[in-house]
Structure 1
Amino acid sequence: MFNDRPFPVDAFPKIIRNAIYEVEQHTQAPQGLIAASVLGVISLACQNRIDVCRLNNLRSPVSLFLLTLAESGERKSTVDKLLMKPLYQLEENLFEKYTHDLTIWKNDEAIFNIEKKALMLKLKSDIQRNKDYFATNEKLKDLLQSPPKAPVRFKLIFNDATPAAIKDHLCGYWRSVGIMSDEAGAIFNGYTLNELPFINKMWDGATFSVERKSEPEKLIRNARLTLALMVQPDVFKGYLQRKGEAAKGIGFFARCLICQPDSTQGSRKISSPVVSSEHLPVFHQRLMEIVNDNITLDNKNDRLCLRFSLEAENRWIEFYNKVESDMGFFGSLSNCKDYASKVAENMARVASLLHYFNGNDGDIPLSAIEDAVKITTWYVNEYIHLFSKPNEFTLAITEGDELYWWIKNHCNRHVVPYITKNTILQYGPNKFRNRSKANELLNMLQSQNKILIGKRGKTTLIAIANLKPAI
């Protein structure tokens, strides 16, 4: 993890914090990965129930865009299944109900069309024969006023879908969806992100016009979209090479909370076969309470607009001003002004999600803002490491630098002054488990004075140069 500090899990309310720790117990996945997954789930659940308001009339969605970079083997899928389990089950149930209701509707529509045709023929006959057609006309009017209603397709989650399919869905009755994937290679290499202006508009909650050659214009109004994608760094690097400049220039990355959590591979030892299982059900219960409210309540109801308390708003303004100052020429955010421009809004969204998901009433308090500041600041630091210095960052650095960071993080995590070369070959990222490649990279790092290499018997020991252990 290129962020020197661990993810601030303690900034989450208890119901969320306990769920994260429990998932970590079950999976031993990186905390940052689990936390990002949790934020995505909460955003998907809450985005259709609430908006966040600040500075009187400034109102925005609470939807989050999250991109999490993690190598194969980091247990992305396991984390996703644990957190999303009741949502996936709900998706199956909703699809089965929709399929059943669709069959009934098609039958009713067939009968409706037969009745309409018969009445129209009778009306035509009555007119041609100069008969009184008042009764027939009234029957036809009554019939046309109450056609069978097509069932609503409640779909919460899109995975690998085209922008056209997502637009068509959001033009309908249901306006709140998530593009979610624990292995988002198909999304980054496919069509889903081909129309980033549309994706950006959905983050903004703006109206979007959908035009087709053979259909009248449709409008997507007041829709909500969560984006929560986990992807391997090499796949994301390929996306950056193909479309990164456009994605950054158009402001897509600026809207995202991006991170690359530290790998836990090599340290996932079983210390106790007994893990807790009491907290996830509590998290799931609150999650489904919100989601089911979304479906049972009228979808056209206005969303609740959460406002800041006076102290919270003053703190938000202070945070906003600090970010603005850091965008100055000598500021820490001077090289990523596009991202910094969205930081305060993302912080407000996180604060409102924490407040609402925790079941609190009233205005968003100062404590929620402070917690959101910790979480958002962690993501800011991640973004800086990922994008502000491309020559030192994983997605654009040499493999030697990547191995250097892995060794350093391993030593810091286990509080040891050195590691063995066999540790790299057995537990390091897959690309470094080839002995000849590992030797080549280690020799290069040694020549750059970044690491020290020594021998203890037949065992090769490696340490970060500035730690200077006795080996």
Structure 2
Amino acid sequence: MNKLIAQDLVPDLPFEIFSEAVDEVQRNVMAPRELAVCSALAIISLACQGLYDVKSPLGNVCPLSLAIMAISGSGDGKSPTLRAFAASVFKYQETLLAEREIDLIKYKTSHGIWFEILKAYRADLRKRVKRGESAEEVAGLIRKHHEIEPRPPLNLLFLNDDVTVQALFQTMNGGLSSAGWISSEASGILKGGALQHFDKINSVWSGDGVRVGRVSSESYQVPDARLTLCLMIQPNVFESFNQAKGDNARGTGFTSRFLFCRPRSTQGTRIADGSEQGWDACERFGTRAVALLKDYVERCRLGESARQVIRLSERANDVWIKTRNEIEREMTQEGRYGWAPDHASKLAENMIRLAALFHVFEGREGDISEMTMRGAVELGYWFSRQFDKIFSPDTILANDANELHAWLRAHYEKTGDRRIERNYVRRYCANRLRDSGRLDELYEKLASDGLIRLVHEGKKGVVILN
């Protein structure tokens, strides 16, 4: 599939902690650089989104949450790449969960004692009522006792993998309202239908919170939710998801919120030189991520939920406004984004989110600088080109035509016959290309490129490979 994916290198960015870690992972794991970039961005988003928002020049306040989808084949290094960036965060999560288990035991003990005292008060109340005595004193004790009821420890789960949308939001209700749904093997999430309720995910991405209505139990609301999504999936799973739910995902605006990439595989080029691998940059990256997460968790424990709002400097403001207007002008029917106004409508906001994330994670002071904003714009446009390669009708047609041509060439190399009946092609080519209408489009494309000829032999349609 590599020859079907045109190469578009990730831009070099002026962000030290981020870039050095990405370089190190690419050097050590030898997976596609795009996977390293997506993994790093997911952890940065998770670390920053609970503490900060960003105010755009138009006056609206945006979350720093990112939604990322990386489409990459089996064996490309998705898991080791994500693990390299997330190791410290995973370890911190385990520490928090272990601490909560201890706190939960203490809570159950203290609540048991509290409940026994309540039972005694209630028994006393019943006796007084039966005897016709005044119960005001014991009623007052009961009211005061309810005020000191021990509360369960905060649910400190912020990393989720194999969950459903419902379970995810239920965990956030009464726990940390900032979380990540991050998986290097997200095929089960898309295949199994865990990724439902596009509207709720859209709402959280936009910073509007989410309300979950239930019939069998009490409904609840997570008004201040922040959610980072990073789903790494195999190409065939993505194609199946896109065929089954792609129209709905695009129509609801779900797809437009994502930063997509589909990297070329590095398999066959990952030649080790035997030198010892160093992980200093990743340790520095992980230390910074954990420091931000610790700050967020401690604020939640203290009941502090307000986030700091970051603003753009005057020059960064000018860069963003100019970029935003350029994107807007290209959303006309004849423009670059005429085929994808849904994607374009979210692109400028994703750029300002990226700028704010780099600003916070790199430890920059004050307002977002022009340099940071320009770097975020460049990366945003790169993600936009990736979106184009995955979803553009022209690109999809070209890729499918290349795939069909490769299948025709393989058939010729096996049989030595350049002549293939169209009925045979329809029965044995890649399953997703077998629709007769789609094959006609692909034949027309290949014929116009001079790669095949279409002839009729009696009633039979025949493809002749040039």
Task: Classify the TM-score, shorter chain.
Answer: 0.7 to 0.9
Residue 69 of structure 2 corresponds to 67
State which of 113, 119, 122 in structure 2 corresponds to 1:120. 122
Q: Which runs of 5+ in 2 are unaligned?
A: 414-428, 430-442, 453-465
TM-fit CA distance, 1:141: 2.4
CA distance in 2, matches of 1:82, 1:88: 10
- 1:354/1:252 Cα in 2 relative to 1: closer, same or farther (>3 Å)? same
Task: Please tell me the residue identity of whatever aligns with 1:101.
Answer: D
Contact 2:157/2:175 (CA < 8 Å) preserved in 1?
no
Contact 2:260/2:386 (CA < 8 Å) preserved in 1?
yes
Does residue 286 (structure 1) correspond to residue 291 (structure 2)? The answer is: no
TM-fit CA distance, 1:224: 0.2
Q: Aligned ranges for residues 137-216 of structure 1 at < 5 Å?
A: 137-216=139-218
Task: Please tell me the residue identity of whatever aligns with 2:8.
Answer: R
Q: TM-score, normalised by structure 1?
A: 0.82
TM-fit CA distance, 1:209: 1.9
Residue 365 of structure 2 corresponds to 361
Does residue 305 (structure 1) correspond to residue 309 (structure 2)? The answer is: yes
Of 226-235 and 116-125, the range deviating more from structure 2: 116-125
Task: Please tell me the residue identity of whatever aligns with 2:356.
Answer: S
CA distance in 1, matches of 2:168, 2:380: 28
Of 102-111 and 169-178, the range deviating more from structure 2: 102-111
CA distance in 1, matches of 2:240, 2:394: 15
**Deviations 1:44-81, CA, capped at 9 Å, x for gaps:** 11110111101253111010000000011111111111
CA distance in 1, matches of 2:394, 2:39: 26
Task: Please tell me the residue identity of whatever aligns with 1:279.
Answer: A
- 1:12/1:401 Cα in 2 relative to 1: closer, same or farther (>3 Å)? farther
Residue 335 of structure 1 corresponds to 339
- 1:390/1:106 Cα in 2 relative to 1: closer, same or farther (>3 Å)? farther
CA distance in 2, matches of 1:160, 1:89: 18
**Deviations 1:353-408, CA, capped at 9 Å, x for gaps:** 0000000111111111100011001011111111112663688556346799xxxx
Classify the secondary structure of the residue corresponding to 1:5: coil
Classify the secondary structure of the residue corresponding to 1:66: strand
Residue 381 of structure 1 corresponds to 385
Give the percent of matched residue pairs that are identical in Structure 1 and Structure 2. Answer: 29
Of 391-400 and 124-133, the range deviating more from structure 2: 391-400
State which of 282, 295, 298 in structure 2 corresponds to 1:296. 298
Q: How many residues align?
A: 416
TM-fit CA distance, 1:100: 2.4
Classify the secondary structure of the residue corresponding to 1:297: helix
TM-fit CA distance, 1:322: 0.6
CA distance in 2, matches of 1:16, 1:203: 23
Q: Aligned ranges for residues 252-267 of structure 1 at < 5 Å?
A: 252-267=254-269
Residue 20 of structure 2 corresponds to 18
Task: Please tell me the residue identity of whatever aligns with 2:307.
Answer: R
Contact 1:44/1:225 (CA < 8 Å) preserved in 2?
yes
- 1:196/1:271 Cα in 2 relative to 1: closer, same or farther (>3 Å)? same
Residue 9 of structure 2 corresponds to 6
CA distance in 2, matches of 1:394, 1:352: 36
Contact 2:88/2:283 (CA < 8 Å) preserved in 1?
no
TM-fit CA distance, 1:446: 11
Residue 454 of structure 1 corresponds to none
TM-fit CA distance, 1:449: 6.1
CA distance in 2, matches of 1:308, 1:338: 25
Classify the secondary structure of the residue corresponding to 1:148: coil
Contact 1:233/1:395 (CA < 8 Å) preserved in 2?
no
Contact 2:68/2:260 (CA < 8 Å) preserved in 1?
yes
**Deviations 1:289-331, CA, capped at 9 Å, x for gaps:** 1011011113543101110111111110100011011112221
Residue 235 of structure 1 corresponds to 237
Contact 2:401/2:446 (CA < 8 Å) preserved in 1?
no
Contact 1:234/1:395 (CA < 8 Å) preserved in 2?
no
Residue 93 of structure 2 corresponds to 91
Classify the secondary structure of the residue corresponding to 2:193: coil
Does residue 318 (structure 1) correspond to residue 322 (structure 2)? The answer is: yes
Of 126-135 and 23-32, the range deviating more from structure 2: 126-135
Contact 2:70/2:232 (CA < 8 Å) preserved in 1?
yes
- 1:83/1:391 Cα in 2 relative to 1: closer, same or farther (>3 Å)? closer
CA distance in 2, matches of 1:48, 1:270: 40
Classify the secondary structure of the residue corresponding to 1:89: helix
**Deviations 1:255-299, CA, capped at 9 Å, x for gaps:** 000010111111111235233332111111111110110111135
Task: Please tell me the residue identity of whatever aligns with 1:91.
Answer: Q
Of 105-114 and 191-200, the range deviating more from structure 2: 105-114
Q: TM-score, normalised by structure 2?
A: 0.83
Residue 437 of structure 2 corresponds to none
Contact 2:405/2:446 (CA < 8 Å) preserved in 1?
no
Classify the secondary structure of the residue corresponding to 1:302: coil
State which of 19, 36, 39 in structure 1 corresponds to 2:38. 36
Task: Please tell me the residue identity of whatever aligns with 1:339.
Answer: H
Of 294-303 and 352-361, the range deviating more from structure 2: 294-303
CA distance in 2, matches of 1:127, 1:394: 84
CA distance in 2, matches of 1:191, 1:16: 33
CA RMSD of aligned residues (A): 2.7
TM-fit CA distance, 1:133: 4.1
State which of 255, 273, 276 in structure 1 corresponds to 2:275. 273
Of 52-61 and 132-141, the range deviating more from structure 2: 132-141
Q: Which runs of 5+ in 1 are unaligned?
A: 405-420, 422-436, 438-443, 452-464, 466-471
Residue 347 of structure 1 corresponds to 351
Task: Please tell me the residue identity of whatever aligns with 1:354.
Answer: F
TM-fit CA distance, 1:205: 1.1
CA distance in 2, matches of 1:393, 1:185: 25
Residue 410 of structure 1 corresponds to none
TM-fit CA distance, 1:155: 0.7
